[in-house]
Structure 1
């Protein structure tokens, strides 16, 4: 009986702690918030997502990601050395969070990254800014340029740390967008999810410095949240409490941002409630793009085809509502039949449910290839090839043409020789008639033999002919 009641109580507790859906979402204390699918960028829940707010130290997500991007682009290493300047160490309020870095202290990029993200050290953030941009003044330009590239239009940054400035602001949506980008940079997830770090002895500090996270959802605590893999929190009197949390369950990875929470612990409660609702209402859905991609899309410069765009095969993931079966999802390629040279190339794949409601719209990976042959105007593509094109006859046809030309040449030579001979004969005959040429005796014409006239024949011959016997035939014979 005790085992029965114990099992019943365990089931009751488990049921009471299960995730709630958005329909059962409790009151959220933070002024603005957003939950974004880390894979697709879908916004699953939000309130005031585009309201401009002061971010405080969640600014350091952008600072650290830019430093890592710079390190990879320049071929650097986490072990690269950086010497702290007077400006980096003395431009922050000593009452703000720091690890007591001093002027001309030499530390590694790894030291700066981990202490910036875990301890939220403002002097370390300044060190990263100098490492990345050369000076503190140059770094905000990089921050704002990256924000614009990502589409974070409600943001403007003036420092690397997030210390208050009226012109330093962002929004819950922009911070989720920036975090989504940062997660794709090599090494960022390591520092984003780290909970402790030790700074070794330096040229200015003879002792090690140990730091540990203040994000209670990442470590064992009353507010620990299962599946949390990273996060950053911030606070200033003007911004109040801000929090970015990354959590994953069953393949679905979510970014939760809450801003301007009035209580130190309300931000954890709000983030947990929002994540619970989204994990209850959504699951990860993977789609192969090859089944939706069509043939290469031509690119034209006027009427000349100059290249083509090919859609690359890849696996895309997005958050599928629990109420929509995977079999009911329809994908549609959003791209023109042809691109004009210089136009933006941004093919997308749009997913809808059975009723046509949009679930997600994801950008597709593509590559451009120039036309392998000289550009041919579209209007001339059906015309006959020009004389500069490949010879159109086959080897047999070429042999027949050569044979016909040879016969024709022989015929012309024969006619020429015949004309020459006829001309020579005419010229010879004319000279003979004029007596210009003596003919050899053997070639001279013999005189004609003349018979004697009948009156002049001899009497003996006539008498001999008369006395010659004549043959007579009997009458009646004959045929």
Structure 2
């Protein structure tokens, strides 16, 4: 190959490399005209199969799909460990299977009482209440409320939580609902409100009924609601409580907390912030509890535990594993500020030659995500995915929802959106309303530039060849004339 041929080959190779590089860089596409672009744009964050993007809905159970070989062995038939900050289920078995909660039912009754009633309100035990109390089986725990007895809401609540007094929980329910059946309707409405999809209460205190059911996950939601929005924690952690004298009892009554997280050293847990035990012959031993450490709140529930004690050790193992193996990361708008500013500048530039402008911009972020501690320790990067953002220049108003992601070494979480509202400028008349301004993406611009550059390069090469031939012809003519002389 001649030297000149080598130069041409090198030039063509350079052009090919330039096109390849520009194509790869343009993968971060921003806008495409929906009528003029038919090929799909390669996203800044790839598909779920390629890069493991986890959406907000998928995060609830995503960690359950990972293998945790060192996870604790739990004896309870059904259980769940729930991260209250992020809404993720960390560990679980049959966590969505309906089962009888027994006295854990009282968490919902007390939650409603704390929301709806003043603690100093005096409740009078009506004949209807007294008749229903007599129907409670003899082996169920009771305070022995009497017909006509006057007792405060506060005393009833403490007895329901600490002593698990079934008559106190029934009295609260009937006071709020008029009848227990009506109150159960209130309980079920509240359960639906907080996201419980598999819960149906037919008892205000946890009577053993086949249709008084919930799940470990739903029970975690109910307890979390109680500890978050009421003073349930203060009540549940109380060791001893004094019931004031009533018109039926002339002296005070002392009760102690029956929960071993509070009243024992063996099962005492320093991070415990509230819970409730339960037991019936059909439900077995049940327990729900919440724990808080370093501003992280975990909620655990076990159903059908083997005995009264093992349910405590089961939950302690779940809590310890949850706090050590998983990390809950707070998401703040400030960490996305540079990316958002860059995207906004790019968007404004693209709209500068149109009759459109950004009328509103806001950020919607999930407050927390939970992942494994090992993954979190390796660090993460934030991404803004502009690949699917499409502007229709004929629309009067349009809203773009641009995904915001947090990417770890092996997994990417979708954690929010950048919401952008684009409108037409007032008083601007379109010359051709049928024509859409082609806000081509970065890839199209760069490829066009590369092609034009390549054509210019080839033209220069052709001109150089033509010039070289002319020079050679002239030299040959000069040589021929010299020889003739």
- The offset of 1:229, in angstroms, is 2.0
Quote the residue 2:124 is aligned against: 83
Q: How does 1:369-384 map onto structure 2 within 5 Å?
A: 381-383=426-428
Q: Could you tell me how far apart the structure 2 residues matched to 1:267 and 1:68 are?
A: 27
Structure 1 residues 347 and 380: CA distance shift in structure 2, 3 A: closer
Structure 1 residues 226 and 54: CA distance shift in structure 2, 3 A: same
Gaps of 5+ in 1: 1-20, 72-76, 296-306, 339-345, 372-376, 385-479
Residue 355 (1) aligns with residue 355 (2): no
Quote the residue 1:288 is aligned against: 332
Quote the residue 2:78 is aligned against: 32
Structure 1 residues 113 and 354: CA distance shift in structure 2, 3 A: same
Quote the residue 1:47 is aligned against: 93
Retained in 1: the 8 A contact 2:170–2:205?
A: yes
Structure 1 residues 282 and 380: CA distance shift in structure 2, 3 A: closer
Structure 1 residues 260 and 351: CA distance shift in structure 2, 3 A: farther
Deviates more, 1:197-206 or 1:276-285: 276-285
Retained in 2: the 8 A contact 1:330–1:354?
A: no
Q: How does 1:185-196 map onto structure 2 within 5 Å?
A: 185-196=229-240
Residue 269 (1) aligns with residue 313 (2): yes
Quote the residue 1:459 is aligned against: none
Structure 1 residues 96 and 324: CA distance shift in structure 2, 3 A: same
Asked which structure has the greater CA Rg, the reply is: 1
- The offset of 1:112, in angstroms, is 1.1
Q: Could you tell me how far apart the structure 2 residues matched to 1:347 and 1:239 are?
A: 48
Secondary structure of 1:184's partner? helix
Gaps of 5+ in 2: 1-66, 342-358, 392-400, 430-485
Residue 132 (1) aligns with residue 176 (2): yes
Quote the residue 1:157 is aligned against: 201
Quote the residue 2:61 is aligned against: none
Secondary structure of 1:235's partner? strand
After TM superposition, the score normalised by the length of structure 1 is 0.61
Q: Could you tell me how far apart the structure 1 residues matched to 2:276 and 2:213 are?
A: 17
Residue 328 (1) aligns with residue 380 (2): yes
- Partner deviation per Cα, 1:318-370 (whole Å, 9 max, x = no partner): 44421123631647799x999xxxxxxx9998655332344x86899x9xxxx
Quote the residue 2:104 is aligned against: 58
- Could you say which structure has the higher helix fraction? 2
Quote the residue 1:5 is aligned against: none
Residue 197 (1) aligns with residue 241 (2): yes
Q: Could you tell me how far apart the structure 1 residues matched to 2:175 and 2:315 are?
A: 33
- Partner deviation per Cα, 1:453-474 (whole Å, 9 max, x = no partner): xxxxxxxxxxxxxxxxxxxxxx
Retained in 1: the 8 A contact 2:158–2:235?
A: yes
Secondary structure of 1:29's partner? coil
After TM superposition, the score normalised by the length of structure 2 is 0.60
Residue 316 (1) aligns with residue 371 (2): no
Secondary structure of 2:238's partner? coil
Q: Could you tell me how far apart the structure 1 residues matched to 2:155 and 2:144 are?
A: 13
Secondary structure of 2:285's partner? strand
- The offset of 1:22, in angstroms, is 5.0
Q: Could you tell me how far apart the structure 2 residues matched to 1:52 and 1:362 are?
A: 32
Structure 1 residues 175 and 103: CA distance shift in structure 2, 3 A: same
Q: Could you tell me how far apart the structure 1 residues matched to 2:383 and 2:159 are?
A: 44
Q: How does 1:408-423 map onto structure 2 within 5 Å?
A: none
Q: How does 1:302-313 map onto structure 2 within 5 Å?
A: none
Q: Could you tell me how far apart the structure 2 residues matched to 1:99 and 1:88 are?
A: 14
Q: Could you tell me how far apart the structure 2 residues matched to 1:222 and 1:243 are?
A: 17
Retained in 1: the 8 A contact 2:336–2:382?
A: no
- Partner deviation per Cα, 1:21-75 (whole Å, 9 max, x = no partner): 953334311001001112222111111100111100001111111111223xxxx
Structure 1 residues 111 and 263: CA distance shift in structure 2, 3 A: same
Q: Could you tell me how far apart the structure 2 residues matched to 1:245 and 1:333 are?
A: 40
Q: Could you tell me how far apart the structure 2 residues matched to 1:154 and 1:333 are?
A: 36
Q: Could you tell me how far apart the structure 2 residues matched to 1:237 and 1:67 are?
A: 27
